Amino acid sequence: MSATASNVTPLHADPLLKWTARLAEGLPIDWTQAAADLSPALLASLRQVAALAGSFAVAADAPQGIGPLGVGSTVGDLRIAAVLGEGSYGTVYRAHDERLDRDVALKVFKGGHRQELLREGQLLARIDHPNVLKVYGAVETDSLIGFVSELLPGESLERWLGRQGKLSASEITTIGGELCAALCALHQGNIVHGDLKPANVLRHRDGRWVVADFGSSQYANDPLGASGTPLYMAPERFTSTAVTASADQYSLGVLLFYLAARSYPYSAETVIDLKAQHRKGERRRLMDLRPDLPRLQIDAIERALAVDPKKRHSSCGNFAAALHAAPRHRVPPLMAVATAAAVVLAAAIWWPVATPEAHRTEWLRTSSDQGVEILSSGATARVGDALALHLTLTDRRYVYVINEDLAGARYKLFPLATSTLKNPLDAGSYRLPDSALDWRITSRGGREHFFVLLSDEPISSEHFQSAQQAALDAPGEGLYAFEPTRGVGGLAPATSEPDAQWLAALKARHRNLEVRRFELINP
Amino acid sequence: MSNLLKDELRRVGRRPQASALEEHIVDEAPLPLAQTMTVETLRAYEAALSKLSDDQREVVVMRVELGMAHDEIAAATESPSANAARMRVARALADLARNMSEFKD
């Protein structure tokens, strides 16, 4: 005889419970099956609860969760991990291919010609070249179409360029040569890029230049479209809908002209002006802007800019040959990119760009009216705001977060006795102080420094002797303080100031200590 | 973690804002995977949440709003195990869904 007299409903007896158990686990729901199990009213409620769970997760992870696909949702074998960027064509996500167990980028198009995009995805998947972003293929569902590609660690040429001074002849030849090679590979595969510009060229962490952002040739018919970068468009594209290999060469010519001169061959502000200038041949000459460059290099770039396609190089291969024929001056080695730029705005990214630096730190602020945002220069901060640190470690580190106020008082924000995270932290991504807590701003002050110390060995607590533990269980006690700021100021890398004594002592003792320092400035 | 802090986290922390959510609602044909939440849903949620017992409300907030893991919830609610916490969450969500369907009527 069974003696079970339980007041607990077994799973199988309550179909709703079966589905909420999956929700509790964060597992996807088979809505067809759920519809068979539940009344329409309950099904609708289950959907709402599922949406709530998803939306809260999105809100908690924002700004990663903006876009049509929620973080954690799946498309085929892909599980969406984060939004990497948004452009006029659509949204790029970081996703995990669960079948092949690898991280990929998924670019979902807004609209577009489905058959054309699918065909283009197939063609792109056949191309295997170090200077072309590897496209694995296209994914298609009833309502969306996207390209799956490799996730490239690096940054866009556009962003890279923002930190460079005048580029040397040698650098221009290197970049130009690699982009020519990329275009040759595409053209050989019967693909015309159609939208070559600095935002669509990536610099791999290993220094390689990679052409990305395909699937935009659909806009070739629309020179005035929102995506339009008319200054990069070959003159014949304003009168013909055909996008040719020669038009790509022209775009590359504009790009190299811009790299060299930091201005465009034409100065028109409207497409009508631009067409008139094309006709009259009124434009800037590279020789006027960069007379220091080798003559042969200037000629090679100018030739790609010919209004008449027949007067350009006969192919991108010939363009490359002409560039390489120019002498390469001896130039100082490229500076290693020491990015202190912890403030990376995902929305500014066009195509999958993973972290350029080794470890990555991002300060997130949660406020009652703005939700979650990455702190950037000029951000305002108020009492009631909550701060958290998103930290991505490429290898194991002992992590310490210190806050120092204007008066020199220091507070150890991490690790805390109450944190679930304990040092050392293995490679991976973390939210500090831990997944469920924030550092909260509870009072006002002047000027605040934040130090994230990344060490390969534990740091003795004596260095933090004067630091007080942030008191997590007493929200009224003021973790740290600053005046509400508005307009000027914000979080900025503060590299020019001399190290505080305690920090200097710390650095002397720990040779491999990496310090990420930020400052909140009050006007 | 003190209850005071949890309340504080919940109040100021991760609650999605109706205005931000409205922007999620696309004007074109919505994608099936799109997770949109309307003000109406939020209202129904709040009403349904208020009808739950204190214990149930607590685990729903921890799991759904704060995204806490089951073992964290178990520790915070003195549940015997993560599995027990998991079941409590599932039951609370089921009751929440039932309450929400009533709210609609």
- Segment A98-156, tens digit of pLDDT: 888 888 888 887 766 677 778 778 888 888 999 999 988 888 877 788 888 888 877 88
The verdict on ipTM greater than 0.95 is no
List alpha helices for A74-219, DSSP H.
114-125, 157-162, 169-188
Q: What is the CATH number of the domain that holds A81?
A: 3.30.200.20
> What DSSP string runs through A86-120?
E-SSEEEEEEEETTTTEEEEEEEESS--HHHHHHH
Please give the pLDDT value at position A59: 42
Residue A177 clears pLDDT 90, i.e. is over it: yes
- Segment A462-510, tens digit of pLDDT: 666 544 444 333 333 333 322 222 222 233 333 334 566 777 777 888 8
A334 in a structural domain: no
Residue A333 clears pLDDT 80, i.e. is over it: no
**Together in a domain, A244 and A192:** yes
> Between residues A239 and B23, which one has the greater pLDDT?
A239
Which residues form the domain of B89? 3-104
A173 in a structural domain: yes
Closest partner residue to A41 among B65, B96, B104, by Cβ? B104
Q: What is the CATH number of the domain that holds A192?
A: 1.10.510.10
**Together in a domain, A235 and A133:** no
**Together in a domain, A397 and A434:** yes
**Together in a domain, A390 and A507:** yes
Please report residues of B whose CB lies closer than 8 A to that of A369.
17
Please report residues of A whose CB lies closer than 8 A to that of B12.
366-368, 384-386, 440
**Together in a domain, A508 and A363:** yes
Confidence of residue A298 (pLDDT cuts 50, 70, 90): very high
Question: By the 8 A CB rule, do A69 and A141 touch?
Answer: no
Q: Does A437 touch chain B (CB under 8 A)?
A: yes
A281 in helix, strand or coil?
Answer: coil
A297 in a structural domain: yes
A321 in helix, strand or coil?
Answer: helix
Interface test with A, best of B93, B102, B103 (most A CBs within 10 A): B93
Tokens representing A104 are 């990929």
**Residue B27, Cβ density class (10 Å: 0-12 exposed, 13-18 middle, ≥19 buried):** exposed
Confidence of residue A286 (pLDDT cuts 50, 70, 90): very high
Residue B68 clears pLDDT 80, i.e. is over it: no
A506 in a structural domain: yes
A353 in a structural domain: no
Q: Give me the number of domains chain B comprises.
A: 1
Instruction: Collect all residues with Cβ–Cβ distance below 8 Å to A326 and sequence separation of at least 6.
Output: A169, A173, A294, A295, A296, A297, A300
d(CA A88, CA A238): 20
Residue B35 clears pLDDT 90, i.e. is over it: no
**Together in a domain, A386 and A494:** yes
Closest partner residue to A49 among B69, B72, B97, by Cβ? B97
**Together in a domain, A304 and A254:** yes
Which residue of A lies nearest to B103 if distances are taken between CA atoms?
A: A45
Q: Does A334 touch chain B (CB under 8 A)?
A: no
Please report residues of A whose CB lies closer than 8 A to that of B35.
51, 54-55, 58, 70, 73
Max mean pLDDT among A395-399, A459-463, A482-486, B99-103 falls in A395-399
Tokens representing A158 are 């556009």
Are residues B67 and A60, on separate chains, in Cβ contact within 8 Å?
Answer: yes
CA atoms within 13 A on the CB side of B51: 16
DSSP state of A172: H
Beta bridge partners of A393: A428
Q: How many CB pairs under 8 A join A and B?
A: 151
Instruction: Collect all residues with Cβ–Cβ distance below 8 Å to A432 and sequence separation of at least 6.
Output: A388, A389, A390, A391, A399, A401, A413, A414, A419, A421
Range in A172-176, A505-509, B96-100 the model is least confident about? A505-509
**Together in a domain, A390 and A497:** yes
Amino acid code (one letter) for A336: A
**Together in a domain, A54 and A97:** no
Confidence of residue B76 (pLDDT cuts 50, 70, 90): confident
Please give the pLDDT value at position A285: 94
Beta bridge partners of A403: A411, A450
Instruction: Collect all residues with Cβ–Cβ distance below 8 Å to A314 and sequence separation of at least 6.
Output: none
Please give the pLDDT value at position A448: 66
Q: Give me the number of domains chain A comprises.
A: 4
3-state per-residue secondary structure call for A324-355:
HHCCCCCCCCCCCCCCCCCCCCHHHCCCCCEC
Please give the pLDDT value at position A124: 84
Please give the pLDDT value at position A433: 74
Q: Percent of chain A beyond pLDDT 90?
A: 14
Residue A55 clears pLDDT 90, i.e. is over it: no
Closest CA relative to residue A337, chosen from A84, A156, A491: A156
**Together in a domain, A306 and A386:** no
A340 in a structural domain: no
Are residues A14 and B94, on separate chains, in Cβ contact within 8 Å?
Answer: yes
Question: By the 8 A CB rule, do A438 and A386 touch?
Answer: yes
Question: By the 8 A CB rule, do B37 and A53 touch?
Answer: no
Mean pLDDT computed over every residue of chain A = 72
**Together in a domain, A450 and A309:** no
**Together in a domain, A380 and A417:** yes
Residue ending a domain, among A303, A325, A347, is: A325
Which residues form the domain of A471? 358-521
Please give the pLDDT value at position B19: 34
